[in-house]
Amino acid sequence: SSSSKMTLTADPAFQRLVAHVEANEKTQLQMKDEFAKDPARFEKLSRTLPTPSGPMLFDFSKHRITQKTFDLLVEVARSRGVEQMRAAMFSGEKINFTEDRAVLHVALRNRANTPILVEGKDVMPDVNRVLAHMKEFCGAIISGAWTGYTGKKITDVVNIGIGGSDLGPLMVTEALRHYQIGPKVHFVSNIDGTHIAEVTSSLSAETTLFIVASKTFTTQETITNAETAKEWFLSKGASAADVAKHFVALSTNVPKATEFGINPANMFEFWDWVGGRYSLWSAIGLSIAVHIGFDNFEKLLAGANLVDRHFQEAPLEQNIPVIMAMLGILYGNVYGSETHALLPYDQYLHRFAAYFQQGDMESNGKFITRSGARVNYSTGPIVWGEPGTNGQHAFYQLIHQGTRLIPADFIAPAKTLNPIRNGLHHEILLANFLAQTEALMTGKDIETVRKENVPEKIAPHKVFEGNRPTTSIVLPLVDPLTLGALIACYEHKIFVQGVCWDVNSYDQWGVELGKQLAKVIQPELAGPAPVTTHDASTNGLIAFIKAHRA
């Protein structure tokens, strides 16, 4: 519903949290003292999630909190109506009220098949029908039963999509490369022609299949790239009738996709209650399924479903996505942090932070509450990060000794999928994963530095203030199930924060204005005529480009 509720800053539960933190800071709450005071701190402030692949550990003990802080954070979640809004989402209410849509990515992975109703209609038969279609398609491609126009097996699949139709499938196929049993998968997203030119340059038209991922089949970048892919395909000697053997659509616009040359039997639909940045679980995940096999894709769904059930059923103080969310509220709204770092110590997860840049920033980058008023507090953080240990040699300097407070999530698998040199690489990786959160927490004071016989002039430069907050997440290993679970934890964290800030996390009106203005400018770029209809900067840029593009 869009009815008005108390603003975050006016909420007595939030005010109690602020007062408590101010008192903590007056006495200079130090995590390392809290660990010294309470030998059970780790047990009390960490949570374990059992999964069929082994337990996942979420360690929240290296945060600037006491048990009292933790309890107050849970009270803020309760006061903001997280439980009520959670029930509304799972029951198919149209919580995306600006677009009059339900928000049901949870239905896409509802493995128990319990009915989920939208306007009185159970969506599960539709979900299962499309999943069955995906399974059949993956089987045909992987077995080689599906052949190209010269009778050869498909060896390469190119997903053409952008935003939610690209970032999720790209992140997950990279993360699960170890499980590949199908064709190689490539991604073309950018309208910059370089992207499709470079991707197609190494491919053979006879053995390449294109997935065109656009719900409306009108997304400018995607349809332009799809038309270009078709031109490339036809230029290699294929005929118009062959297009249907090499192009499939993830779309609901049957007429437009048919006109393009795609067989309606090879169109995979999804629904308006699936937001782009929550869509990898739907037909949009076809490139994932065809790469790792449908059984593995189902495990990805099962991992997410396991977290959905935990999120739905666990009391707030045991609820992992809720705890993740409320710690973000603590730093963003009480401490004034502006960013959140995601630091996976796993090369397979190298696109994880990029994926959640969209997941988080497009969801909660909002300044208007559900009742239509401007917020008077910070909302969505800037999300960033790169894999460890690389980041240690790049930007960790600023996390350790910079002037900003940057909460960070450290993520690592206990077991590696590539145990080369007797596991030496993984041992070094994990030693660094563990050392960084310890270093950020304990720091190093001037006395310790002096004991190392450092010249007095240099000593202050070697001081670490410490007390820098981190969450450590340990997966048993990276597999489809644990990855699905991890992604779902962050999805629900984003939901909980959106509820706390009272914003609609499921629209994205902020992408519209630039698109509209680009439509005005594009025809103006056509001729040599000077353009004077914009501000001086935009006019000047257009003039410069016209003069120098030939």
Q: Give all domains of the chain, ordered by start, each with its CATH number.
A: 8-79+314-501 (3.40.50.10490), 117-295 (3.40.50.10490), 509-548 (1.10.1390.10)
What integer pLDDT is reported at residue 56 of this predicted model?
A: 99
Q: Of residues 37, 393, 457, 548, which has the active-site annotation?
A: 393
Catalogue the E-assigned strands of 69-198. Answer: 117-118, 121-122, 156-160, 184-188
Look at the chain and count its residues.
550
pTM over 0.75: yes
- List CB contacts of 275: < 8 A, sequence separation 6 or more: 96, 103, 105, 164, 506
Compute the half-sphere exposure of residue 89: CA atoms within 13 Å on the CB side of its CA.
Answer: 25
Element (DSSP H or E) covering residue 83: helix 82-90
What integer pLDDT is reported at residue 4 of this predicted model?
A: 64
- List CB contacts of 188: < 8 A, sequence separation 6 or more: 158, 159, 160, 195, 196, 199, 225, 229
Strands 470-475 and 56-59, sheet pairing: antiparallel
In angstroms, how far is CA 464 from the centroid of its own chain?
32
Token pair belonging to 396: 């960790």
What integer pLDDT is reported at residue 1 of this predicted model?
A: 41
User: Is 515 annotated as catalytic?
Assistant: yes
Q: Of residues 34, 362, 386, 491, which has the active-site annotation?
A: 362
Tally Cβ neighbours within 10 Å of residue 394.
Answer: 10
Coil/strand/helix, residue 441: helix
Token pair belonging to 414: 């206990």
Residues 333 and 378 sit within 8 Å (Cβ to Cβ): yes
Alpha-carbon distance of 270 to 123, in angstroms, equals: 11
- What is the layout of strands, in order, in the sheet containing 156-160? 184-188, 156-160, 208-213, 247-250, 267-268
User: Cis before residue 150, ω within 30 degrees of 0?
Assistant: no
Q: Of residues 37, 451, 461, 515, which has the active-site annotation?
A: 515
User: Is 524 annotated as catalytic?
Assistant: no
In Å, how far are 356, 508, 518 from 350, measured between CA atoms?
12, 25, 32
- List CB contacts of 485: < 8 A, sequence separation 6 or more: 49, 51, 56, 303, 304, 306, 307
Report the C-alpha dihedral over residues 137, 140, 146, 152, rounded to 10 degrees: 130
Element (DSSP H or E) covering residue 227: helix 220-235
Strands 339-344 and 382-384, sheet pairing: parallel
User: Is 198 annotated as catalytic?
Assistant: no
What integer pLDDT is reported at residue 408 of this predicted model?
A: 99
Per-residue pLDDT of the chain (550 residues; tens, 9 = 90+): 445 689 999 999 999 999 999 999 999 999 999 999 999 999 999 999 999 999 999 999 999 999 999 999 999 999 999 999 999 999 999 999 999 999 999 999 999 999 999 999 999 999 999 999 999 999 999 999 999 999 999 999 999 999 999 999 999 999 999 999 999 999 999 999 999 999 999 999 999 999 999 999 999 999 999 999 999 999 999 999 999 999 999 999 999 999 999 999 999 999 999 999 999 999 999 999 999 999 999 999 999 999 999 999 999 999 999 999 999 999 999 999 999 999 999 999 999 999 999 999 999 999 999 999 999 999 999 999 999 999 999 999 999 999 999 999 999 999 999 999 999 999 999 999 999 999 999 999 999 999 999 999 999 999 999 999 999 999 999 999 999 999 999 999 999 999 999 999 999 999 999 999 999 999 999 988 999 999 999 999 999 999 999 8
